[in-house]
Amino acid sequence: MNTFTSPTTTGTRSSGRATGFLLANTAKTAVLLGAIGGLLVAIGSILGGSSGAVIGLIFGVLISGGSYWFSDKLALRSAGAVEVNEAQAPTLYRIVRDLTARADLPMPKICLIDEDQPNAFATGRNPKHAAVAVTRGLLEICDEREVAGVLAHELAHVKHRDILIASIAGAVATAISFVANMAMWSAMFGGGDDEDSPSPVVALLVAMVAPLAAGILQMALSRSREFEADRGGAEILGDPRPLASALQKLDYASNRIPNVHVQPSQASAYIVNPLSGRKVAFANLFRTHPSTEERVEKLLALT
């Protein structure tokens, strides 16, 4: 039975870097969330004046509330994750129990996904209603210490309420696309005599640009939270090297082992992008995750 080392002392300089990193990412998260929500209200205002802005705000609040309550169930169902008990996965339970004690978190549900691609994600609206899910592939290619690094990363997401933040951002981005498209069709096929109604050209431009802008903001938010979860996971485990090693293995495998069950809307939830093998133009702009090289570099700088 492997034991884990206690958290290492990295000194004042390292602690200062970590604090600065945390503050920078927290500020960035607040700005990006505000920008996504503000974009929804702005679209409502452009397409329907002051009444449209109010409708956009109400719609955003409603869809964010629904995301708060149901995103965990949808995420687990979408991934085909099955909850397991301690008798079925004793090693996983031992690792998670040790990590939650270190992080002062309640024990989450533990789920397994029957997928060859090594990966993992966490979900749940708060630490008391959290779940962590790992694929069969992760357990096959990572040693126990690397699995602990991955699970510490996921528990850092839980501790930082990142799942809730990402769910709200995703829900509002979806609302933006819905509102923009509905307004476009309304402007093109009726309601053009209303003073608050935009011209068909304006509605078409908004319908094209708004979802793209919302998606870019959502992906930037996801990248900032991954960096912070890497740092938090290394802090929980007391050593950044197992997570760095696991990320390299997972990145290599994700480009070679497809995961056909993951929907693009769920990709940002995983520790590495399960769809990273699908290449797109302007890749950095549309990344849901930072590059593995950058993540590993930042992790090893904490040693």
Residue position matching structure tokens 């702009």: 285
The DSSP secondary structure of 163-226, one letter per residue, reads HHHHHHHHHHHHHHHHHHHHHHHHHHHS-TTSTTSPPHHHHHHHHHHHHHHHHHHHHHHHHHHH
Name the residue among 135, 147, 137, 153 with its Cα closest to residue 295.
153
Radius of gyration of the chain (CA): 21
- 18 with 231: CB under 8 angstroms? yes
In the structure encoding, which two tokens stand for residue 62, read together? 């409603």
Catalytic residue among 115, 146, 154, 235: 154
The verdict on whether 297 is a catalytic residue reads no
Listed in order, strand segments (DSSP E) in the chain are 81-83, 109-113, 120-123, 131-135
d(CA 250, CA 244): 10
Q: Measure CA of the first residue to CA of the last residue in the chain; give whole Å.
A: 25
In the structure encoding, which two tokens stand for residue 107, read together? 């024990």
Classify strands 131-135 and 109-113 as parallel, antiparallel or unpaired. parallel
| Active centre residues (catalytic) | 154
